[in-house]
Structure 1
C-alpha cells in the first residue's frame, strides 16, 4: 500500500492512489491533519489548473509547500480532484 513518509512519519497511506506525471495523488482524507499548516503559495499548471499547497510541521521540523492539491482542477485533470501529492523531502513508498 503506498505511503507518504516525512521524517520517518507516515503522513498519508492509501490503496486508492492515482498516478499522474509520476506523482501519487492520495485521497485528501488519508492525509494526517495534525501535521498540516496552511500556505499562501499557489502555482498554475496549464492542463490541471491552479494548485494550492500545505506546509508540514512536526516536532519543530517544517517543510514548506511540500503538499500540493488542485481545489478546482480543469476537466482534463478531474482524476486529481479531492487528492493531494507530495514533493521535496516526502518519500512515497509501496
Structure 2
C-alpha cells in the first residue's frame, strides 16, 4: 500500500503491516518517508483513542496542513478495541491517495 500526495510517495508498506481503524489505513512509523511529516500544533483528543498528534505533509514542493495524524500513546483500552498496538502509526486525510 502507498500513500501519495502531489505525486510524492509519502508512505509505503505491505497491507498486512497496516492497521485499519474507522475506515482509515494507519501506516507503521518506519514506512513513512523521512522528512515529509512536520508536527502541527492542532489539538485533538479522541474519546477512545487518546491524544492525537497532527502533522502537515511536505510534498510536491508545498506544505499541506494537517493531512496526517498519529496517536503516539493511545489509551490501553484502544489496543483492545482495535486488536493491536497502533502507537505512532500514521493515517492520512482525504486528499492523500491511499491504495495498492
Point out where structure 1 has 5 or more consecutive residues left out of the alignment: none
Residues 46-75 of structure 1 show CA distances to partners (whole Å, capped at 9, x for unaligned) of 110110111012343221011100111011
Change (3 A) 1:3 1:59: closer
Could you say what secondary structure the match of 1:33 adopts?
coil
Identify, as 1 or 2, the structure richer in strand: 1
Alignment RMSD (CA, Å) = 1.3
Query: In structure 1, which of residues 67, 84, 89 is the aligned counterpart of residue 90 of structure 2?
Result: 84
Query: How many residue pairs get matched?
Result: 93
Is 2:6–2:60's contact at 8 Å kept on the other side of the alignment?
no
Q: Does the CA contact (< 8 Å) of 2:38 and 2:55 recur in 1?
A: yes
TM-score by length of 2: 0.84
